[in-house]
Amino acid sequence: MKSKDLRIRMKELQDDLSAENREAYMNMSLYISSSSRSEREKQELLLELLEHLVIAQNKGKTAYEIFGSDLEAYCRDLLSNMEKPGMKLKAMDFFFFGLGAVGFFALTEGIMNYLFAPFFSELIGERNLVPLVFLFLMTYAMTAIIFSLFKHYVFKKNGKVKMILIPVIISFALISIPVYIFAAIDLPQIAVPPLPNYTYILAGAVLIAFSFTWIFKFRNA
C-alpha cells in the first residue's frame, strides 16, 4: 500500500473513533511520529494500531482496555521492537535536513532582498557563510529538542499546552541567541559575493525540493 493510500485509510478509520479513543490514538500518533523511525514504518504501525482500536471499539472497548493504562510505555515498547535507523540513514537525514535548511535561508534571503532592497540597499552585499553554518547547526539541534520534548509531554497533564508553547519559546531562542552570539563574537569571514535575487530564490526552491523528495519519497520507500 502506498503512503498516500495509508493516509487515506487512516483518515477513514479515525472518523469512526469515539472522542475518547480518538484522543488516545492521537496521543499515540504524536509520540510515535516524533521518533526517528522511517515514516513508512511509523505509518504502517499507526494503521495497525488504528485497525485494532476500531475492531475493539466495535466490541465496546476503549484504547486503555486493549493497549493498557500506560499508553506511553506501550508506545515505547513498540518502538523498541522496531529496527533503529543505521548511521548511514542518520547521515542522509542530516545531509538532506541541511539542504532544506540552506534552501530555506536562501529562499528567505532572496524574498527579503526583493522586498526591502529598495529601502535598505546598503545591507545588500557580500554574505558571510560562517553565521549560516551556526544557524544550520542550531536549527538542527532545536528541531531534535522539540521532537524529544513532544514525546516527553504528549501524555502529560496539560501536555498539549506545553507542546504549543515549547516550539514558540525555542523559535524565539533560535532567533535571539544567534543574534547575540554574532554580535558578541568576531567570527571568521568566508565571504560570498552578492548574487542576483532570483539566484537565491531558485537555489532555495531547488534545495527544499530535494530535501522534501528525500523525506516523503525515498525515505518512505
Q: Determine the pLDDT at residue 106.
A: 79
Alpha helices by DSSP H, listed for the chain, are 3-14, 19-33, 39-58, 63-67, 71-80, 87-116, 129-153, 159-184, 197-213
Give yes or no for residue 122 having a pLDDT over 60. Answer: no
Mean pLDDT to the nearest integer, 170-199: 62
Residues 75 and 154 in one domain: no
Q: Is 75 in the same domain as 91? A: no
Q: Average of pLDDT values for 127-154?
A: 67
**How far is CA 215 from each of CA 86, 134, 204, rounded to the nearest angstrom?**
16, 23, 17
Same domain for 62 and 27: yes
**What are phi and psi for residue 192, nearest 5 degrees?**
-115, 125
In this prediction, residues 2-26 reach a mean pLDDT of 88
Q: Rounded to whole angstroms, how far apart are CA atoms 106 and 111? A: 9
Same domain flag for 32 and 61: yes
Number of structural domains in the chain: 2
Compute φ and ψ for 127, nearest 5 degrees. -120, 140
Range with the lowest mean pLDDT among 41-45, 147-151, 201-205? 147-151
Residue range(s) defining the domain that contains residue 41 = 1-79
Residue 181 clears pLDDT 80, i.e. is over it? no
- What's the rounded mean pLDDT across residues 4-15? 88
> Range with the lowest mean pLDDT among 75-89, 102-116, 182-196?
182-196
Note whether residue 221 is domain-resident: no
What is the separation of C-alpha 10 from the centre of its chain, rounded to a whole number of angstroms? 20
0.75 exceeded by the pTM? Answer: no
